[in-house]
């Protein structure tokens, strides 16, 4: 097997402001795993919040390339990844998720089946995805909400956490007026104190907000659980629910858990959390980081398992270098083609071990 990688810059159509930061672009590292003439692809994106830059991602992928020498093919490597034996024990979840993506894509192509069928789902999943509106003016939010509603979006997520909480309320009101039939989600990204959240959530309930993600600062899951117990709208844990053990502490105590493949470790880890939540009263939300369609595709193959899908990261980009999961009409759809079902747009510069004189590709003979 050969593993190659390439770093690209993903630019947003416009800067996205949330309570803790504003983002205009993000580095992504694409990887390709090649075996017997076929390739599978994955993507890991850099994240300041998760202390992961493109250089570190690349170094870890080079180490993973050497580890692949232990396996006879992508099928055995994928089994090892699910058992925790690949990549190395200190590998961040986002890198593990990207390696798993490439292996799933390759295994699906070799078996001539789409990834969702490898995961036990016969019909290609599809889901109404939330579309995010960042912190900004009331007018801009209303105009964007109206445009999204006209294009078919039935779920809109509004970022909150302005210095003045009244600004957030005014923005949500503008969204509600412009898209009266949309389901509204709210995401302060941990900007409120428990007292602020307790005072504000009834007001958002009056505006018809369906659920709120991580209303208080992460690090106090007990406080989040207490808030959820008395909240008039469902409370979804996000930053307080990174992996399986976090989910285990909160299952049955919050209304939802936002599972992002890049923070939990990929599809296999997400399925473990989904099994944990089943029948508990805590429901699954599938979220994402800002990424291309390649980065979003593995989660879309799980979309039928979630109550809430927030898989719009590719829709925030000025130019998505990959295609195949839809979303511009408010619905994401898993591809029916073998593997992940995504393909690069013309001109996309893919990683290629055979044409990598700079040493960005690591070859593993087998």
Please say if the pLDDT value at position 352 is more than 90.
no
Please name which of 309, 307, 260, 274 lies closest in space to residue 98, comparing C-alpha atoms. 260
Q: Which two tokens stand for residue 118?
A: 């490898």
Please say if the pLDDT value at position 5 is more than 90.
yes
Q: pLDDT above 70 covers what percent of the chain? A: 96
Taking CA atoms, 264 is separated from 85, 96, 238, 269, in Å, by 16, 9, 11, 6
Question: What average pLDDT is seen over the chain?
Answer: 95
CA angle 215, 221, 227 (to 5 degrees): 50
CB 290 within 8 A of CB 45: yes
Tens of pLDDT, residue by residue over 192-227, are 999 999 999 999 999 999 999 999 999 999 999 999
Please name which of 318, 261, 327 lies closest in space to residue 99, comparing C-alpha atoms. 261
Reported as a pLDDT band with limits 50, 70 and 90, residue 359 is: very low
Tens of pLDDT, residue by residue over 141-163, are 999 999 999 999 999 999 999 99
Please say if the pLDDT value at position 298 is more than 80.
yes
Q: Which two tokens stand for residue 86?
A: 């690949």
Q: What is the pLDDT of residue 353?
A: 53
Ramachandran region, residue 249 (left: φ > 0; alpha: ψ -120 to 50; beta: rest) = alpha
Taking CA atoms, 351 is separated from 31, 109, 138, 183, 294, in Å, by 6, 18, 42, 40, 13
Q: What is the pLDDT of residue 363?
A: 34
Which residues lie below 8 Å from residue 103, measured CB to CB, with a gap of 6+? 33, 40, 42, 74, 77, 78, 81
The pTM score is: 0.94
Tens of pLDDT, residue by residue over 18-72, are 999 999 999 999 999 999 999 999 999 999 999 999 999 999 999 999 999 899 9
Please say if the pLDDT value at position 356 is more than 50.
no
Average pLDDT over residues 91-103: 98
């Amino acid at each position: 097997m050969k593993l190659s990688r390439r770093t690209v810059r993903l630019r947003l159509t416009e800067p996205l402001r949330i309570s803790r930061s504003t983002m205009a672009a993000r580095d992504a590292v694409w990887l390709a795993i090649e075996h017997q003439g076929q390739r599978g692809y994955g993507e890991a994106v850099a994240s300041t919040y998760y202390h992961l830059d493109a250089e570190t991602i690349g170094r870890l992928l080079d180490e993973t390339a050497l580890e692949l020498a232990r396996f006879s093919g992508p099928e055995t490597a994928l089994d090892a990844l699910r058992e925790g034996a690949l990549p190395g024990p200190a590998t961040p979840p986002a890198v593990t998720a990207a390696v798993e993506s490439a292996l799933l894509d390759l295994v699906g192509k070799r078996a001539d089946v789409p990834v969702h069928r490898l995961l036990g789902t016969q019909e290609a999943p599809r889901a109404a995805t939330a579309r995010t509106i960042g912190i900004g003016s009331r007018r801009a939010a209303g105009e964007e909400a109206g445009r999204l509603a006209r294009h078919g979006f039935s779920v809109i997520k509004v970022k909150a956490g302005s210095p003045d909480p009244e600004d957030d309320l005014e923005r949500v009101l503008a969204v509600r007026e412009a898209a009266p039939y949309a389901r509204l989600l709210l995401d302060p990204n941990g900007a409120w104190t428990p007292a602020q959240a307790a005072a504000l959530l009834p007001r958002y309930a009056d505006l018809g907000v369906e659920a709120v993600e991580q209303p208080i600062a992460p690090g106090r899951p007990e406080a989040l659980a207490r808030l959820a117990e008395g909240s008039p709208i469902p409370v979804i844990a996000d930053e307080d629910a990174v992996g399986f053990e976090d989910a285990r502490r909160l299952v049955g105590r919050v209304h939802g858990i936002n599972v992002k493949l890049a923070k939990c470790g990929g599809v296999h880890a997400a399925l473990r959390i989904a099994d944990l939540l089943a029948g508990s009263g805590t429901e699954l939300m599938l979220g994402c980081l800002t990424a291309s369609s390649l980065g979003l595709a593995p989660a879309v193959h799980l979309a039928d398992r979630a109550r809430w899908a927030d898989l719009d990261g590719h829709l925030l980009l000025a130019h998505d270098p990959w295609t195949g999961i839809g979303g511009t009409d408010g619905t994401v759809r898993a591809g029916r083609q073998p593997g992940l079902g995504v393909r690069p747009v013309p001109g996309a510069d893919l990683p290629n071990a055979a044409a990598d004189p700079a040493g960005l590709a690591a070859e593993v003979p087998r």
